[in-house]
A and B are shown apart, each in its own frame.
Chain A
Amino acid sequence: MTQLEPVVRTGSELDDIESLVRTYRPRLLRFVTFSIGDADLAESITQDCFLKAYNSRANFRGDCSVNTWLTSIALNLIRDQQRLQKFRFWRQARATAIDITDAASFLPSNESSPESRVLVKEKAGQVQAALEHLSPNQRTVFLMRFAEEMDLAEIAAVTRMPINTVKTHLHRALKSVRAQVGSMPGNLAADHHSIAAEAGHADDSERRSSR
């Protein structure tokens, strides 16, 4: 009886399309937008995704979260779109550009210093640029893991890939993004050495005190 409660709750959640859209649209729109790289098309797909979810809400079994379920519907629509684009010779020469850098000024004010905002904006822009160089599968699993914060099992279930394949895609995507963002290896190495030096001094002092 207690197991049915979440299903009933999500069932009623799915019945109210307005609240469904209000709650989940930002995350879903982000996933679709950065998966396909076209803001206008992403809005259309997100809209379709909600309507499809609403129409087939009876099929939702409640064995995953609503967000995961919506993401899986969105992923199917994205794949349909990509398949369609492959055969559409009159496809648009350039997709509607996404500019997220101005959104940094709308971030929550816990990081209020201008320096940190500039840094956040810069890093976000670098990751966004790096996403364009990933394959569709790598981009999908990367966004699911680092934007949607889904765990590996959820990603495997939604993408219908074996979990080891998901891991492989994630490793490659992360390597590529870290290489493009660039700051990590060099800066980290520098930080690493400074901290290692400190740790070495502490080790030496421990030895001296033990003697």
Chain B
Amino acid sequence: MTEAIDATGLIKRFGKVTALDGLDLHVRTGEVHGFLGPNGAGKTTTIRVLLGLMRHDGGSVRLLDGDPWAQATALHKRLAYVPGDVTLWPNLTGGEVIDLLGRLRGGLDPRRRAQLLERFELDPRKKGRTYSKGNRQKVALVAALASDVELLILDEPTSGLDPLMEEAFSEVILEEKRRGDRTVLLSSHILAEVEKLCDRLTIIRDGRTVETGTLTDLRHLTRTSIQADLAGPPDGLSALAGVHDFKIDNGRVRFDVDTDALEPALRTLVQVGVKSLVSQPPSLEELFLRQYSRSGS
């Protein structure tokens, strides 16, 4: 088994609305995989299909070498899930929920449970109704991380945590990664978190996968911003493939250029004659913003 999650061309419709429209998601065993996309892109729906809570209408999906719909119960013994919006039973304490969920999955490591409670500074004696959003999330996180499972599916697990707890969460995931015996699917909005934790990532939008690969792969997809004062008119530069947002003002040009098109663009500049040049390195942030904001095609 090399892929813990193998989804190809996944389609999920709700009535007339198509939530997933040919989505691909491939998570290799043992890696931490970032799963990104704007609100409503289909992250939670994908996760629900992976958990066998919803049946897909098209495409194929394998989870831990099984069918997530037909073999849900057997597969669930091997994974732990933290929903994006954790709700707890109002009259059960956090500790009770952790133990219950752990046992229903098939086992909890009590030492690890105690460690995690301490690291997340969570009081397990409080009733569910008295926890804040962040603390409810910690309850689900402790239950998942202390469980003896191969796959962790975490849906925006840090969205309610304060910065200190976010840091604690990152450390725990990095430790998991070093041990290397678990696969983690981490849906997130936070770039810094993904950069720090993930080996590979998948960006989706409107139910479709728009980018997937390692961070280095994706950096390759980013654009360099160039600003140059030229000796003459930059003939043909604006028409060059891979040059975007071209602007010219009094002999000064500004444009963004794809990493692949950097060389031909620079060659054109040199031919015209460069008086000064400023280049800004590619940033993932820009890539994200571009992928997030590009209107559905």
Do A and B originate from a single complex?
no
Q: Which residues of A come within 8 Å of B, CB atoms?
A: none
Residues of B with Cβ closer than 8 Å to A? none
